[in-house]
Amino acid sequence: MNPLRPLLALAGALALSGCAEMMTATPQLEMKSGSAQKMEVKAKVMAVGSLDYSPDGKRLASAGVAPVVKIWDMTTAKGLRTLSIPAKYGLGDVVYSPDGKLLAAFGATGLFGDTITYLWDAETGAQIKTIPGNLNFRLAFSAGNKYLLGSEFKPGGLFDPVTMETKQFDLGNDTVVRSFHGYTVGAMSPDGRNALLKGDPQKGLMLVDLQTGREIWRTGDRRTDAVAFTPDRRHVLASRSEFHGTLGTRATMSLALLDAATGNQIRELLRYDVANTFLATDKDFAKLSVIEVAPDGSRFITGTNRGEYKLWDLATGQMIRQLKRPDEKLMFDMSPAHAAFSPNSKLVAVTSAASVRLYNVADGEEAATMIAFDDGEWLVTTPSGYYNASEKGDQYLSVSVAGSPFTISQLRESFYRPDLVKVALSGGTLSDYKKIADIKPPPTVAIVDTPNTTASPKISVSLRIKDQGGGIGDVRLYRNGAAVVFEKTQTRNLNVAEAGQDAQVLRYEISLEPGANTIRAIAFNADNSMQSADTTIEVQASIVARQPALHAIVIGIKDFANPRLALKYSVADAELFASTLETRGKGLFSSVHVKRLFKPAETTNTAITAALRQARQDVGPEDLFVFYVASHGTVDDGQYLLITSNVGSTTTAKLKQDALTQDSLKEMISNIPASKKLVVLDTCSAGQLGDAIQVAMLTRGMSDDTAMKVLSRAVGSTVLSAATSVQEALEGYKGHGLFTYVIVEGLNGAADADKDGFIKTLELADYVDSQVPELAEKVFQHKQYPIVSPTGQGFPLVKTR
């Protein structure tokens, strides 16, 4: 029997009874940590019962009780798309075609075997056709996508037997070319020309030629539960079950290696007896319902109808290990097994109650867990605690450190790492990175002795901070969503609190805006890996409002200490941006102050730092601050690095010493008192920085995308960045870089989506996000995807009329 059959049947029965929620489970996360540090999912999810890798390994499709197929992008560690179908009782088998161009799945529309099979374009997700005929067991494509095999289950009546029939459906002319009565689909041969079909003990296991329908060989006398070809097509693995006694209350289970040419048994790998099969009360009564062989032929995996998985050595036939699976069991202990190896044989994916779980084949350790929530959100986690998630996917995560509960937002800055999840999904190791187990608790923070009203333009905010065992690191204060204080308290030499020691009080002077000011404070533990819970206060400032000014630092770096880094359009881009701000800012702001830094002496690390420090003195809380850079940039070891003109050597060690780091940018931009800030980074490293940086960039640390999101959240500002690390920001579009040119076009009016005469931050972000990829493909036949991270207040940037 197909392992999905009991799951779908139970789903249907529960749906009719109004108890469909019983087919849900709370996914359990495997954590490399002690009992005091945990990351848990706090939502129930519909059961998953089927999955398949695309032939190139770039996608993974999963399906189950929910009427959707979830497509996962394994190269980016993201949920790519959701394919919804009107299948009231869930989905069954999901399978890619051998060339990866098609995807098929069947959905149960009735309780008694009624199904519709769907066919999609695997690349776009567009539905191609539906296939009638109640194909409701395992699906399989033949060579060249000519045929689709599926099996029809016929429940029979009160006195009629249950019957099975495999149908060979011609996808070209939408007809059933032949049927195999009494058989279900077992496995397709590696060349897609022959199929193994499973029958009852009388019909046995049969190999057929799909072109002619000819029987090649057949074995009988026992039930076959699961079969698989070896990649070289020389052998077949088959699990079998034999029932004894009047009511079949005793059974013998076996796993054998067969000759694929004749069907003759070569040797038996496993045999054991079950004393009592009645209602499956015997703990040993777990049929091997799934067998999958790794593409390199070194290993195979078996799965039981209870969702237990074991890895085997194909050459010796010896079991290597049982995979650890922490998920809850479903009702009646029925977690159906389904497994698929990645094309490079490094990973094996398995269905695990309400999730897809991936394991490293080499050591059997879990690599990642993928969860698709019923509301469309998704989550991919690793045992180290690093994760990737949809926009609201991590709302379902809870964390406890040292036995105390925390929100995931307190760990997001350290553990939201899509780049590291990508490493895990490619079979790489995260052993060199910190784990949840390494995290120490953050301090507690409270705002004290701070008035709720004032007539002064500034206020002194007092924070009572108490160490909880993890020390005290950075302190940040936000006013109306934008960072206005960013202090590294380590420079104060704060003492680590001992048990019973009084908390420490830190005081900060903050400029206020007229009217309501929401002040939020957080503090980090000593290594800045976890932040405290927020503490907030509302302060009403009775001060006279003034028309805001625009302050901008615009940097264009053309020449570097290393001549190989020279750029052609950076200064021209910076000047175009600066002049656009000056022109379009008039009438909206009381004054416009644009500081241009173009010469080598003005664009060193030291000079840019000095300019940002001065901006802290010049910019007021109502003002708009814009920071623009056209240069090189990269990410290494978790740090975005802005390449300044003083950079000569591109070795990792020298870059960290000479370039301007993400931490420095965060601190300096955060401390500028404006609530409205825009950061534009027309920087990338592809093509210019040499092999040393390329290797570092692609194999270590976070990606540009992640770095920009972290920077945006930390500063509370909108950040626009030109391209991801593996792309080159395109130059030579109408005498400028493409990214800056599109931004300027947007500021000149093209981004005015609501036609109100003002270009606002979100409008500009949307315009850049849509136009840069379109023009890059159209003009350069090249991919460039900007990184857009809108955070903090949305506000007008310029006036267009």
Distances (CA, A) of 791 to 63, 78, 506: 34, 21, 27
Reported as a pLDDT band with limits 50, 70 and 90, residue 746 is very high
Could you give all domains of the chain from N- to C-terminal order, each with its CATH number? 4-425 (2.130.10.10), 444-541 (2.60.40.10), 550-799 (3.40.50.1460)
Asked if the model's pLDDT at residue 53 lies above 70, the reply is yes
Alpha-carbon distance 68 to 58, whole Å? 20
Least confident piece of the model among 84-88, 503-507, 561-565, 594-598: 84-88
Predicted pLDDT of residue 708:
56
User: The tokens of 103 are what?
Assistant: 């995807």
Strand ranges inside 156-315, DSSP E: 163-170, 175-181, 183-188, 194-199, 205-209, 215-219, 223-229, 235-244, 250-259, 265-274, 288-293, 299-304, 309-313
Predicted pLDDT of residue 735:
64
Long-range contact pairs involving 146-154 (C-beta distance under 8 Å, separation at least 24): 146/170, 146/171, 146/172, 147/171, 147/177, 147/210, 148/104, 148/117, 148/119, 149/185, 149/188, 149/195, 149/210, 150/106, 150/117, 150/185, 151/2, 151/183, 151/184, 151/185, 152/113, 153/5, 153/113, 154/113
Reported as a pLDDT band with limits 50, 70 and 90, residue 226 is very high
If 0-12 CB within 10 Å is exposed, 13-18 middle and 19+ buried, where does residue 170 land? middle
Residue pLDDT, tens place only, 352-380: 888 999 999 999 999 999 999 999 999 99
Predicted pLDDT of residue 694:
27
User: The tokens of 121 are what?
Assistant: 């374009």
Which residues touch 617 (CB under 8 Å, ≥6 apart)?
none
Q: Across the chain, what does the average pLDDT equal?
A: 85
Alpha-carbon distance 240 to 224, whole Å? 4
The strand pairing partners of 183, in sequence order, are: 199
Q: What is the dihedral of CA 129, 135, 140, 143, to 10 degrees?
A: -60
Asked if the model's pLDDT at residue 17 lies above 80, the reply is no
Asked if the model's pLDDT at residue 775 lies above 70, the reply is yes
Reported as a pLDDT band with limits 50, 70 and 90, residue 687 is very low
For every residue of 653-685, which 3-state class applies, written as one string? Answer: HHHHHHCEEHHHHHHHHHCCCCCEEEEEEEEEC
Asked if the model's pLDDT at residue 461 lies above 50, the reply is yes
Predicted pLDDT of residue 650:
83
H/E run at residue 759? strand 758-760
DSSP class of residue 489 equals G
Least confident piece of the model among 38-52, 250-264, 657-671, 776-790: 776-790
CB atoms within 10 A of CB 492: 12
Reported as a pLDDT band with limits 50, 70 and 90, residue 516 is very high
Q: Which pTM was predicted?
A: 0.80
Predicted pLDDT of residue 169:
94
Residue predicted with more confidence, 284 or 577: 577
Alpha-carbon distance 149 to 757, whole Å? 60
Mean pLDDT (whole number) for 546-570: 94
Reported as a pLDDT band with limits 50, 70 and 90, residue 793 is low
Predicted pLDDT of residue 18:
41
Nearest to 721 by CA among 600, 796, 635: 635
User: The tokens of 557 are what?
Assistant: 């770096």
